[in-house]
């Protein structure tokens, strides 16, 4: 279970999917959770911490990814 604010988010039934194949051994996994929340974790450490995004936060994050906001400078 993960706690965001005062809301309990149950991760026990989450289905984790790899977000993409990264370089080397890097991996990120995401899971669609109750009420539209999205969980993100390090696929190499599945028992480690989980970031929980609200639907609005996830939409802003993925829009930033699509716009190249997080790309490394060349």
What rounded mean pLDDT belongs to the chain?
A: 85
Q: Break the chain into its structural domains and give their ranges.
A: 2-66
Cβ of 41: how many Cβ atoms within 10 Å?
22
Give the pLDDT confidence score for residue 23 in this predicted structure. Answer: 56
**What are the two backbone dihedrals, phi and then psi, of residue 18, each rounded to the nearest 5 degrees?**
-70, 135
Give the pLDDT confidence score for residue 1 in this predicted structure. Answer: 40
Name the residue with tokens 């996994």. Answer: 29
Give the pLDDT confidence score for residue 57 in this predicted structure. Answer: 94
Confidence of residue 35 (pLDDT cuts 50, 70, 90): confident
Give per-residue pLDDT as tens, 1-30: 444 555 677 888 899 999 766 555 678 999
Buried b or exposed e, range 5-39, using 16+ CB within 10 angstroms: eeeebebeebebeeeeeeeeeebbbbbebeeebbb
């Amino acid at each position: 279970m993960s706690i965001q604010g005062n809301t309990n988010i149950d991760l026990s039934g989450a289905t984790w999917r790899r977000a993409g194949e990264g370089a080397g051994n890097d991996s990120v996994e995401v899971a669609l959770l109750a009420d539209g929340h999205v969980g993100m974790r390090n696929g190499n450490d599945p028992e480690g911490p989980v970031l929980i995004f609200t639907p609005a936060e996830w939409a802003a994050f993925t829009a930033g990814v699509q716009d190249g906001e997080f790309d490394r400078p060349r």
